[in-house]
Structure 1
Amino acid sequence: MPPVQELIWFGLALVVAGSVSGFLAGLFGIGGGAILVPVFYQMFGLVGVPEAVRMHVAVGTSLAIIVPTSIRSFLAHKKRGAVDMDLLRQWVIAVPVGVVVASLIVAAISSAGLRTIFACIAVVLGIRMLLNRENWRLGADLPGNPWRAMVGAFIGMLSALMGIGGGVLNNTFMTMFGRPVHQAVATSAGVGVLISVPGLIGYVWAGWGETGLPPFSTGFVNWLTVALVIPLTLICAPLGVNAAHAMSKRQMEIAFGIFMLVVAARFFVSLA
């Protein structure tokens, strides 16, 4: 059992992580996972969760928390009429299929492998948003099927491996095909619902029977952490939505890019 002081810091870190992740869920449409996963990884290490399952539990728990957060963010954005509902309807099957593939990978991949995936994708997306070169655009509008369905499955797979709600990938996809960043952010909240629900089920299955899991865990999902963090994310998500609609396109791109690079740096340090 770690010292009481360390447990207190663990609890405080969860409070901060929950508040910030809820705000970011509304601001960027990312579900908050990009900040929850690195914080959970460090905090689970503090309380003695073995390295072999620590990253898996961090990712699985993040996806469980994203379920209510993404639903609340999606409803708030939908109320403002900013969500591309046609795209979401076309991805109802494609995105969960990608999540199922990710669940199969999670059952075999190492902790370092998950961290590497997270950090590398974060760097690419962060640089893209910071530079924002117009010649990076791939078209004036989103491609049709079957390419659109394939992209949805790919976003679902990578997001489930990273423990995020899909916003970091969907934002890039939509903006590179000429969609406004505010619409991309709003739609990403809906994508988060399509990823987090099957992702939660997949991580429970992938971690079923594993040894070394923290108390109150089902598979790779720790319900004690979920119970502590969810109330804070639900409270703070609408604040992020309001901030998103008050910012300019370029301000959101710069903020998002810096955020992703900071997250990537944290994971590369953990791999050293």
Structure 2
Amino acid sequence: MSTPPTTDDSGFEFDESAVRRKRRLGKLFLGLCGTATLVGIVALVALLVDVVVEAWGWLTWEFLTYPPSQIVEHYDPSNYGDLPTGPGGLYPAIVGSIYLIVLTAIFTLFLGVGAAIYLEEYAPDNRLTRFIEANITNLAGVPSIVYGLLGLAVFVRALQTGASLIAGALTLTLLILPIVIVQSQESLRAVPDSMRQASYGTGATKWQTIRNVVLPEAVPGIMTGIILSLSRAIGETAPILMVGAATTMFTPPELTDPTGPFSAMPMQIFEWAKLPDGDFQHVAAAGIVVLLTVLLLMNAVAIYIRNAYDPRG
């Protein structure tokens, strides 16, 4: 038997049983959301604990400053001193990752932000522009291995760059460019149009308005998007594997020679992880800790920039 409607003080009738039922459904939905969140957090904590336990005692200063030593004949004691015991360190891969990300950041900053400014501020609002924007959004979801194959075909073979640092940086630029363009467009679009009109009212040109009014307001969102995209790129293995990044190097790459060979932290960790000896599993875990630390630092920088330039802060 259903509960008769209840009338409140204002004369409005409502079904009390229906209200209780909706409250129970709301609590059930909240519990499901909490469970889903807890599953992700527990899995992440378990993974981090496992990696830290494996890396305990192996993450030393020598690990950060020495090259790998599993192939003794390639080791030059005059450069680094006595040969360290065990599988050695991660130093060449750390330097390679830093150089790779620096070059990728330079290419991404100019190409990504420039494309976003053109599409948002200069391009006419027609079918062609909307078609380009839709395809840029779709490209953000393309698997990274596809960009690796594209980098192999275009940069390594067509442009004859070889398995070089510049080829890896350009390939990673292609990978994160759609994300940076979309994020930069959203940041530019978030700037109130009244600020543009006020600038035009003072006699400023379109470029002066973009440079002095729009870009300063959009910098937090643009920089946050770029840094978060770079933090994704630094952990990618498939694209740089396709363009020929070395799995192991015993000397760091030269930034003054971007056409030379290079390695990166994901490649060296991948090489260590597939080896059967127990020592390599420990140094692979230590490398993962270093890589995660770099990722967390980059995300912290993104948060700091967003908060520092947030006008509401």
Greater helix content:
1
Same fold (TM over 0.5): no
Greater Rg by CA: 2
Higher relative contact order (CA 8 A, sep 6+): 1
Per the normalisation by structure 2, the TM-score is 0.26
Per the normalisation by structure 1, the TM-score is 0.28
